[in-house]
Chain A
């Protein structure tokens, strides 16, 4: 989506331009030094030379614009290109603060006499936020992740396949049981707290086992000894899969985790299948035999792509 990206780039580059234009239009009507800080009552309590002020703001806005543009064009995923939103907001904040200060200072003799009108302050702070929101809307939509040449397996055209695997954690089951027993004891003294602790223990115990099913429809992962609760990722939403040695710390810990890497279902350290989802973050599921699961997912995705 290049037009969107071009528009976003123009918005990013506009921040240093605003600084330049404001300077050119108003530089001969400014007090020097400039007021650059106001206390809570609105009195000037900080000043900076006009040239230094302009230079600093120009450098910051230019850097933010360049870094934001780079993030927009070089990012390999949506999370990285989202950095352009933040950088856009930052650049525009500096540009608006500069412009706002200059507008407030027009034709004022001394820095201390400059009044910062509240509406000017509101506009100065609100515009960058709006710009950030617009930039966020303009972010390139998630492009389908290229299928990584992960392992696969031969699959006949009309063959029906289903893979079942699970991962369990004795530690989590024991911890859950212990917590539940503690809760049961507490129940006698503090009924409400006891019930809560028992529920937490039961939840922990329930989540100590994770079952995974891979078939022609997609990948289904379910917590607990029964098929509930679970999550199904349809095959059409998967671009590919790989098997990794999952380190819980890198995915946000144990249990159902959300992190910058994506979503993770973790009951233990070790083999996990990572689904690269189309238009979404990765989903990691700890499961024994993850190699075979990943190979089957890739084979199924390739077969579905070949049919389409």
Chain B
């Protein structure tokens, strides 16, 4: 799969990497059980610190999308079936929303208020 990083973006590099994996999951480019690139390889390819990649992978693990095992690398969880993948899409949209809001100078609380307002 293709990873693209925009170093000039306000979004952190680790967040960008995580976003790409979520996107690939939603699009079906990454199938459940599939192996993600080794952290070292990805870090070399993108010219970022390996810890940045590991932070991104850790984030994905916390979201229940990825399994990290010592010596085996990162795999998309086999049970990351449709609902989970749809949730990944939602997570990604939330991230995008937060980014756009931040660009407009809208804080998280204000954004939540606006979401509530939109609902009523």
Interface residues, chain A, CB within 8 Å of chain B?
156, 158-165, 213-216, 227, 289, 292, 296
A165 to B24, CA, bound (A): 13
Chain A neighbourhood of B8, CB < 8 A: 158
Query: Can you list 25 A-B pairs, Cβ within 8 angstroms, ordered by A?
Result: A158-B7, A159-B4, A159-B7, A160-B4, A160-B5, A160-B46, A161-B2, A161-B4, A161-B5, A161-B46, A162-B2, A162-B45, A163-B2, A163-B3, A163-B45, A164-B1, A164-B3, A164-B37, A213-B45, A214-B45, A215-B44, A215-B47, A216-B45, A216-B47, A289-B1
Given A215-B45, A227-B41, A162 contacting B6 (CB threshold 8 A): no
**How many residues does chain B have at the interface if contact means C-beta atoms less than 8 Å apart?**
17
Docked-complex contact A164 and B45, CB < 8 angstroms = yes
A161 to B44, CA, bound (A): 11
Q: What residue in chain A is nearest B35 (Cβ atoms)?
A: A166
What are the interface flags for B23-37 relative to A under an 8 Å C-beta threshold, 1 for contact and 0 otherwise? 000000000000001
Chain A neighbourhood of B2, CB < 8 A: 161-163, 292, 296
Docked-complex contact A164 and B47, CB < 8 angstroms = no
Given A215-B46, A216-B47, A159 contacting B5 (CB threshold 8 A): yes
A156 to B8, CA, bound (A): 11
A214 to B47, CA, bound (A): 12
A183 to B42, CA, bound (A): 37
Within 8 A of A (CB), among B50-97: none
A296 to B4, CA, bound (A): 11
A159 to B5, CA, bound (A): 6
Chain B neighbourhood of A214, CB < 8 A: 45
Chain A neighbourhood of B4, CB < 8 A: 159-161
Q: What residue in chain A is nearest B45 (Cβ atoms)?
A: A162
* Distance of B74 from chain A, by nearest CB (Å): 12
Given A292-B2, A296-B2, A162 contacting B46 (CB threshold 8 A): yes
Q: Which of B6, B7, B41, B48 contacts A213 (CB 8 A)?
A: B41
A216 to B48, CA, bound (A): 12
Q: What residue in chain B is nearest A165 (Cβ atoms)?
A: B1
Chain B neighbourhood of A164, CB < 8 A: 1, 3, 37, 41-42, 45
* Distance of A211 from chain B, by nearest CB (Å): 8
Docked-complex contact B6 and A161, CB < 8 angstroms = no
Q: What residue in chain A is nearest B42 (Cβ atoms)?
A: A162
10 nearest A-B residue pairs (beta carbon): A162-B45, A215-B45, A160-B5, A164-B37, A163-B2, A162-B3, A162-B46, A160-B46, A161-B4, A160-B47
Docked-complex contact A163 and B1, CB < 8 angstroms = yes
Chain B neighbourhood of A289, CB < 8 A: 1
Chain B neighbourhood of A165, CB < 8 A: 1
A292 to B48, CA, bound (A): 22
Q: What residue in chain A is nearest B48 (Cβ atoms)?
A: A160
A164 to B30, CA, bound (A): 12
Q: Which of B1, B7, B38, B41 contacts A160 (CB 8 A)?
A: B7
* Distance of A298 from chain B, by nearest CB (Å): 14
A159 to B44, CA, bound (A): 15
Chain B neighbourhood of A296, CB < 8 A: 2
Q: Which of B3, B37, B38, B41 contacts A161 (CB 8 A)?
A: B3
A44 to B75, CA, bound (A): 79
Q: What residue in chain B is nearest A289 (Cβ atoms)?
A: B1
Q: What residue in chain B is nearest A214 (Cβ atoms)?
A: B45
A216 to B38, CA, bound (A): 17
